[in-house]
Structures are given as C-alpha cells and as structure tokens.
C-alpha cells in the first residue's frame, strides 16, 4: 500500500471507511451468538466496558502509529523499533487466517440471499434447513460452492481495484441496514411464544420477547463465578479485536491514510460508537425473539448458526417476511463483502510491496491460499466433522487461533512497545499534534502501560490452558 499512498479527503471519509471495514460479520453474526452463549446482559456489559477502555486505547494507538509513520503495519513497527519489526509480520498473518473462514460465513449469507430470491423462505424457517446445507454430512458441493462464490467475488473486486466503488455503495447501504435493523428489532419485540413440553404439547406458559430483552440487556450476576467471569471477559475481548479490526495491522494502514490535521480522538470515538451500535442492534434483532422461541438454554446452544436459524423463523412470521428477509440478507452481504475486500486488499498490497508480483499474480496466489485454507472450514461441520484440531472444528479452530491467541499477542507486544519502550508520549503527542484536547489521556496511559498488558496476559494464559485442556471450561 505504500505505492500510490492515497489519503482520505477528510475526517468523515476516514471515519466512514474505517467503520466500513469494522462493521461486518463480526457485528451481525459473531456478536449476537457470543452474547447468547455467554449469558446475555453480562456479556454485553463486559463488551461495552472493554470497548470504552481497551478498545479505545488500542484503536487510538494503532491509528496514531499509522499516521505518525505513514506506513502500513510491517513498515510501521519497523520504523518505531527495529527490534519489534517482527510484530508487523505477525499482525499481517491474522487477515490470512481470518479471510478464508470469513468467506465461508459470507458464503452462507449468499446462500440465504438465493433462498429468499427463489422463494424458499418457508423452508428456511425450519430449524433443520441450515444444518442440511452447511452441516451436510454427505455432500461437499453446497458448503464449498457458496464459499467459493463469496471468495471469488471478493477476489474479483480486489483484482479490478473497485474498492472505492464498493465503498461508495456501502456508504449508501450502511444507513439502510441500520434503519432496517431498527425496524426489525421493533417488530421482534412484539413477539411471544407458548412454551412446549418435551413431547411438543403446549404448557400454557408464554415467553415474550420482552423477557428476552431483559436477558439481553440486564446483567444477571447470579451464578457468576470467577471462572465464568474470566470466560466472559475473554470472549468479549476476542470479539472486540475482531469487530474493530484491531491487532491485525488494519487500523495502522487506515491511520497512515489520514491527514495530519484530522482529529483522531473524535474519529476513534465515532468509529467505536458506530461499530458497537451496529453490534448491539444485531443482538437486539436476534436475541429477544430467540429467547421467546427457545429460552436461554436453546439460545446458547446454537453457536455460529444462530443468525441463520433464528432470523428466518422470525421473517416467516412477519408481514412481507420474504421481502424483508431478502433485503436483510442482501445488506448483510454488502457489510460482509466490504469487510472481506478490505481484508484481501491488505494482504494483496502487502504481498505486492514485499515481492515483485503485480496485482493480478498476487491476487491469484492469495485466492488459492485462501481456497486451500478455507475448504476445511467449509467442510468442518459436515463431511469432515470427525476431524478436530485441539478438539475444535476447523472454523472454530481458525477463529480461536486468530482471535484468542495471535491477536492478544500482537496487542500485548504493541502495549509493551508503546508503554515501556518508546513511551506513550509518542502516541499522545501524535494525537494532540494540532492542539486537540485528549480528554481520556490519563486513562489511555494507564490502559496501555498497566491494565491492558495484565489483561492480555490473563487472556492468553487462559486461552492456551483451556485449549490444551489443562483447565476445564
Ligand atoms: N471487523 C470486521 C467484522 O467485524 O466483520 C472483520 C474484519 C474486516 C477484520 C476487515 C479485519 C478487516 F480488515
């Protein structure tokens, strides 16, 4: 990206572009299912606190590093300290791990666009529909086909260099997505469901979406032990990295495109607000209604398939459900593809910077690598269900290794570099270079020097110990 280094026209352009990369499947697909899995309100509370402290500190650091050095991640870390240049390479590996499985989920979204287009929305509302396609134990055609389609579309966009065009489209799509999400959320809050017993007979008990709203927003501390606290914080932290595109060099690159007179504090606040707002809305759309249908346990059991099982059920009950479902999945598709394009663009431009390869060759190579790495994720829930890595299915393994291991390592080393080696002043001076007021400067310094490193070490130790089954989770 250092050749033809472009720059954003102004602060709003920068905020929208960074938010466009940040808002994606992480907000719409990953956040709701993690919130469902980790106790609703308590997860949401942890996430918001972490976003305001940790997310803010890390995002400010990365954007300021980018603007100060004017380089993308490999060059930027090298310029700050030659001893830390390896960090740029580690950060760069993250998008390579994420993109393939991101495209698998993107493929699922494509499938649902097709489902709603061809009028199979009633079939899609059956709980077995998703399993029959993505987790089919005998056929590999559909899971790999949709993955291939999404990856090929991403590669084609990067190859044609239409990033700017896609970004422009996403600026129109994003507000529509938000309006639609608000409307769907309001609708689902009116739903109620009669609880059935194990034989499928009505019990007379009615569960409402409003009870689900309480589950989603009000933290329930009963049964909250040290172990569940650590687990919840770990999950919230890994989600934060993923959702805000942190600890993978992306925000450094975006920072390097910003003008020197851009107010970084304001920008970081707005990007965070946007990203967290969309995640909270996505949860609002999915969790209360699913709670009404399935109860807290049923909700937690769904995992990555939550969005694809619960929303079709809701759409089937809505007036104009087929149309709303179609519009919704098209918008999710756009949010996903803008993010996957920025992921691939980062990898490709770095390959071009480091080698003599041109855009086409770099694109083809990265496409093939993603294909090879992604196929196990596409088949992991189905044909290759028996194969596990550290006890995890492929998709969960790649998700774990990037979000819970490599990203905390990158974040930890970045905090050590800034907090203890070159000093937080490097960053705070960059943030305040035009005399801006940095309201949370003391918090920033405390986070980067003390709290964040301690947190990150705990997360890393916990993730690794639980992955190797040394402690039980
Ligand atoms: N932050 C994106 C999401 O929440 O879906 C994922 C992502 C996109 C990460 C683009 C990195 C990136 F460059």
Element (DSSP H or E) covering residue 192: strand 192-196
In the chain, what is the greatest distance between 2 CA atoms, to the nearest angstrom?
Answer: 70
Min mean pLDDT across 13-17, 75-79, 253-257 is at 13-17
- Which of 32, 62, 239, 243 best tests ligand 1's pocket when mutated (most atoms within 8 Å of CB)? 243
Q: Indicate if the pLDDT at residue 59 is higher than 50.
A: yes
Q: Indicate if the pLDDT at residue 295 is higher than 50.
A: yes
Tell me the CA distances in angstroms from 332 to 108, 111, 325, one per residue in order.
11, 12, 10
- Which of 242, 274, 304, 406 best tests ligand 1's pocket when mutated (most atoms within 8 Å of CB)? 242
CA distance 359 to 352: 7
- pLDDT of amino acid 101: 92
Q: How far is the CA of 53 from the centre of ligand 1 (A)?
A: 20
Binned at pLDDT 50, 70 and 90, residue 78 comes out as very high
Q: How far is the CA of 241 from the centre of ligand 1 (A)?
A: 9
Binned at pLDDT 50, 70 and 90, residue 162 comes out as low
CA distance 429 to 426: 6
Taking Cα atoms as reference points, which of 417, 442, 436 lies closest to residue 65?
Answer: 417
Q: CB of 339 closer than 6 A to ligand 1?
A: yes
Q: Which two tokens stand for residue 176?
A: 């529509």
196 C-beta neighbours (distance < 10 Å), count: 11
Q: Are 312 and 129 in contact (CB under 8 A)?
A: yes
Binned at pLDDT 50, 70 and 90, residue 152 comes out as very high
CA distance 288 to 314: 11
- Hey, whose CA ends up nearest to atom 10 of ligand 1? 339
Helix (H/G/I), strand (E/B), else coil: 206: strand
Q: Are 246 and 321 in contact (CB under 8 A)?
A: no
Angle among Cα 167, 170, 176 to the nearest 5 degrees reads 165
Q: What average pLDDT does the segment 326-342 reach?
A: 89
- Hey, whose CA ends up nearest to atom 8 of ligand 1? 339
Q: What average pLDDT does the segment 463-467 reach?
A: 81
Min mean pLDDT across 214-223, 310-319, 361-370, 428-437 is at 310-319
Where is mean pLDDT largest: 203-212, 220-229, 267-276, 335-344?
267-276
Q: Indicate if the pLDDT at residue 298 is higher than 80.
A: no
Q: Are 247 and 94 in contact (CB under 8 A)?
A: yes
Q: Indicate if the pLDDT at residue 63 is higher than 60.
A: yes
Q: Are 136 and 142 in contact (CB under 8 A)?
A: yes
Q: How far is the CA of 341 from the centre of ligand 1 (A)?
A: 10
- Which of 21, 240, 350 best tests ligand 1's pocket when mutated (most atoms within 8 Å of CB)? 21
Closest ligand 1 atom, residue 22 Cα: 1
Whole-structure pTM value = 0.89
Task: Summarize pLDDT for 12-49 with one digit per residue, the tens.
Answer: 778 887 888 889 999 999 999 999 999 899 999 999 99
CA distance 4 to 81: 25
Q: Which long-range contacts (CB under 8 A, 24 or more apart) does 169-178 make?
A: 169/334, 170/20, 170/334, 170/335, 170/338, 171/16, 171/20, 173/331, 173/334, 173/335, 174/19, 174/20, 174/23, 174/335, 176/331, 177/278, 177/331, 177/332, 177/334, 177/335, 178/277, 178/278, 178/281
Q: Indicate if the pLDDT at residue 346 is higher than 90.
A: no
- pLDDT of amino acid 89: 92
Residues 6+ apart with CB under 8 A from 45: 219
Q: CB of 26 closer than 6 A to ligand 1?
A: yes
| Average of per-residue pLDDT values in the chain | 87
Binned at pLDDT 50, 70 and 90, residue 473 comes out as low
Element (DSSP H or E) covering residue 205: strand 202-208
Q: What average pLDDT does the segment 395-420 reach?
A: 92
CA distance 312 to 320: 12
What percentage of the chain carries pLDDT values higher than 70?
95
CA distance 242 to 462: 18
Binned at pLDDT 50, 70 and 90, residue 3 comes out as very low
Q: What average pLDDT does the segment 159-178 reach?
A: 74
The dihedral region occupied by 218, where left means phi > 0, alpha psi between -120 and 50, and beta the remainder, is beta
- pLDDT of amino acid 6: 57
CA 352 to chain centroid, in Å, comes to 26
- Hey, whose CA ends up nearest to atom 11 of ligand 1? 245
- pLDDT of amino acid 2: 43
Task: Summarize pLDDT for 216-240 with one digit per residue, the tens.
Answer: 999 988 878 888 888 899 899 989 9
Q: Indicate if the pLDDT at residue 1 is higher than 60.
A: no
Phi, psi of 69 (to 5 degrees): -85, -25
CA distance 223 to 98: 34
CA distance 189 to 15: 31
């Amino acid at each position: 990206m250092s050749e033809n280094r472009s720059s954003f026209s102004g602060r709003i352009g920068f905020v929208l572009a960074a938010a466009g990369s940040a808002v994606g499947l992480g907000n719409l697909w990953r956040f709701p299912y993690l919130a469902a899995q980790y106790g609703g309100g308590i997860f949401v509370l942890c996430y918001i606190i972490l976003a305001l402290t940790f997310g803010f500190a890390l995002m400010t650091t990365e954007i300021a590093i980018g603007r100060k050095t004017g380089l993308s991640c490999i060059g930027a870390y090298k310029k700050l300290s030659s001893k830390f240049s390896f960090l740029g390479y580690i950060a760069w590996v993250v998008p390579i791990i994420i993109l393939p499985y991101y495209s698998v989920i993107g493929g699922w979204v494509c499938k649902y666009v097709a489902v709603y287009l061809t009028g199979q929305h009633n079939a899609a509302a059956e709980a077995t529909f998703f399993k029959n396609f993505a987790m089919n134990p005998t056929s590999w055609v559909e899971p790999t086909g949709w993955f291939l389609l999404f990856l090929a579309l991403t590669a084609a966009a990067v190859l044609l260099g239409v990033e700017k065009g896609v970004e422009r489209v996403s600026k129109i799509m994003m507000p529509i997505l938000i309006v639609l999400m608000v409307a769907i959320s309001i609708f689902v809050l009116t739903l109620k469901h009669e609880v059935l017993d194990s034989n499928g007979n009505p019990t007379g008990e009615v569960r409402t979406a409003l009870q689900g709203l309480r589950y989603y927003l009000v933290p329930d501390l009963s049964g909250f032990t040290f172990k569940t606290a650590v687990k919840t914080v770990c999950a919230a932290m890994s989600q934060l990295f993923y959702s805000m595109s942190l600890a993978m060099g992306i925000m450094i690159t975006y920072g390097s495109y910003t003008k020197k007179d851009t107010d970084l504090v304001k920008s970081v606040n707005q990007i965070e607000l946007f990203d967290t707002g969309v995640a909270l809305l996505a949860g609002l759309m999915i969790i209360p209604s699913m709670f009404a249908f399935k109860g807290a346990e049923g909700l937690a059991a769904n995992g990555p398939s939550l969005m694809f099982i619960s929303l079709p059920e809701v759409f089937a009950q809505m007036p104009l459900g087929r149309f709303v479902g179609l519009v919704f999945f098209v918008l999710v598709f756009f949010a996903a593809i803008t993010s996957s394009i920025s992921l691939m663009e980062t990898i490709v431009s770095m390959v071009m910077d480091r080698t003599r390869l041109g855009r086409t060759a770099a694109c083809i190579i990265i496409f093939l690598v993603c294909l090879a790495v992604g196929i196990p994720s596409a088949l992991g829930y189905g044909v290759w269900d028996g194969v596990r890595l550290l006890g995890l299915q492929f998709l969960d393994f790649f998700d774990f290794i990037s979000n819970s291991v490599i990203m905390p390592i990158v974040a930890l080393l970045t905090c050590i570099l800034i907090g203890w080696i070159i000093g937080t002043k490097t960053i705070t001076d960059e943030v305040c270079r035009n005399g801006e007021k940095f309201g949370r400067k003391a918090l920033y310094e405390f986070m980067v020097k003390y709290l964040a490193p301690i947190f990150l070490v705990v997360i890393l130790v916990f993730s690794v110990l639980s992955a190797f089954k040394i402690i039980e989770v």
